Amino acid sequence: MLAAICTGSAGAVLAIEASRLARNGRDWHTLLEFCTLVNSLIIDEDGVCDPKLTNDRLLLGMKGTFSELELSILRQRSQEALRLKAARGDLHTSVAVGYVRTSDDRLELDPDRRVRKSLHLAFRKFAEFGSVRQVAIWLCDNGIKMPIVVYGPRGRMVEWRLPRYNTIHRLLTNPTYAGAYVFGRTGSQVRIEAGRKLVTRNVRRSQKDWEVLIRDHHDGYISWQDYESNQRTINGNANMKGAMVP
């Protein structure tokens, strides 16, 4: 739309509600500025506005401000609703392999015995080897495939593949398998580089910064004590590996 306006081929911008043309103040005022430069009008159900005119520019500016406020309120309310549901342990954006979600939104162990046995095997081997990489190598050497969740036209399905390091690492570091419900394990970081906003998503938080942690929320494959012991072992291996790098 901005490209068409800048070429001068658009004499007016028509919208059911002008304030819906942009999601934030910066984009909104950019639109007004370009319309002013090329003498383009903005028309909505309330009337015709000419951004070159002071009164019309003031009206359009207020519409943009109210739109941004409304979007912020809606976003805040939706996020708060998600947090309240998560605080009850009822928010499940996805279900880890080895579990199924019941009709009343509870997590239960997968009824497939092969799935349960393979996950128990991975946890036992980690207790034996004390290394994520060694578990993955042992499983591959023995041709033992692990279940993973995939989503396709038929919805959520379980497929069997030889494991990679990341597959086993996610399994061992997921508190869900210790019977815990967790919300807010990852967050976002915002930084400014070269005058532009850059957002890094899925940044892992430390356990003390998790928003919700409910132990004994559902049946686990290991105990919470075993989970914490596994995390200490994994972190220790990572620290040792980092210390060895010259």
Q: Are residues 68 and 116 in the same domain?
A: no
Per-residue model confidence as pLDDT tens for the chain (246 residues): 777 788 777 888 888 877 677 777 788 888 888 888 888 888 888 889 898 999 998 988 888 888 888 888 888 999 999 999 999 998 888 899 999 998 888 899 999 999 999 999 999 999 999 999 999 999 999 999 999 999 888 888 999 999 999 999 999 999 999 999 999 988 888 888 877 878 888 888 888 999 999 999 999 999 999 999 999 999 998 776 655 544
196 within a domain of the structure (yes/no): no
Q: Are residues 83 and 107 in the same domain?
A: no
Q: Are residues 35 and 135 in the same domain?
A: no
92 within a domain of the structure (yes/no): no
Q: Please tell me the pTM assigned to this model.
A: 0.74
Q: Which CATH number do you get for residue 115?
A: 3.90.1750.20
Q: What is d(CA 120, CA 97) in angstroms, rounded to the nearest whole number?
A: 12
Dihedral angle over CA of 108, 149, 122, 214, nearest 10? -40
Residues 6+ apart with CB under 8 A from 220: 176, 177, 178, 179, 180, 227
Q: Are residues 228 and 109 in the same domain?
A: yes
For residue 60, count CB atoms less than 10 angstroms from its CB and return exposed for 0-12, middle for 13-18, buried for 19 or more: buried
162 within a domain of the structure (yes/no): yes
Q: Are 222 and 229 in contact (CB under 8 A)?
A: no
Q: Are residues 135 and 236 in the same domain?
A: yes
Q: Are residues 14 and 106 in the same domain?
A: no
Q: Are residues 158 and 59 in the same domain?
A: no
57 within a domain of the structure (yes/no): yes
41 within a domain of the structure (yes/no): yes
Give the per-residue pLDDT at 245: 47
Q: Are residues 49 and 143 in the same domain?
A: no
What the block records as the tokens of 147 is: 């279940």
In the chain, how many domains are there?
2
Q: Are residues 58 and 112 in the same domain?
A: no
Q: Are residues 151 and 222 in the same domain?
A: yes
Q: Are residues 70 and 130 in the same domain?
A: no
Q: Are 120 and 97 in contact (CB under 8 A)?
A: no
Q: What is d(CA 33, CA 223) in angstroms, rounded to the nearest whole number?
A: 61
**Torsion angles phi and psi, residue 14, rounded to 5:** -105, 135
Domain boundary among 53, 87, 121: 87
